[in-house]
Amino acid sequence: MTVGFDRVRRRAPRSTSTTAPIGVDSLGKRALFTSAAEVSQPGIGSALVECSRCDARTVLGPMQAMRAAIPSLHLGIRVGHGDDVRSLGLIKRDYPTYMRCPECGRPSWVRFTVQL
C-alpha cells in the first residue's frame, strides 16, 4: 500500500531537477510554489497530516513523512499544495490513510497530503 507513495516521492526530485534548467515554465511554477510555501504552507516533499482523532495538523519533513508513512494503510493519497489538492485513490473519503498520528501517537484515520 506504500507503492503509491513511493511513486510520488520518486517523481518529486526528478521533476524539479529536469524542469529547473529549462526555463520560463518551471520558473513560473517555482515562483508559485515559493510564494505559496511562504504563506505558512509546508514545503515541497513534506506532508501534512490531519488527524481525525485529535484534529491536529502536523507538518512532517520528507524524511519524517517517509518514516511515519511506512506502517500505514493508504486507501487514497492526497497530493497537492494549498487549495490545489488532488485525491489519488479508489476510495473517496475524508481521511483515507490509517497511520499513527504524530501528534496524539495513536493509530488514527488521517488525511495525508503530500506537498508538491
Applying CB under 5 A, which residues contact Zn ion?
51, 53-54, 101, 103-104
Nearer to Zn ion, 15 or 52 (CB): 52
CB of 46 to Zn ion, least distance (A): 18
CB of 38 to Zn ion, least distance (A): 27
DSSP code of residue 93: -
Nearer to Zn ion, 30 or 100 (CB): 100
Nearer to Zn ion, 33 or 112 (CB): 112
User: Which cell goes with 94?
Assistant: 475524508
Give the count of beta carbons closer than 10 Å to the beta carbon of residue 61.
Answer: 13
Q: Is the dihedral of CA 53, 54, 57, 62 positive or negative?
A: negative
CB of 52 to Zn ion, least distance (A): 8
Q: Which of 90, 94, 93 has the alpha carbon at shortest distance from 50?
A: 94
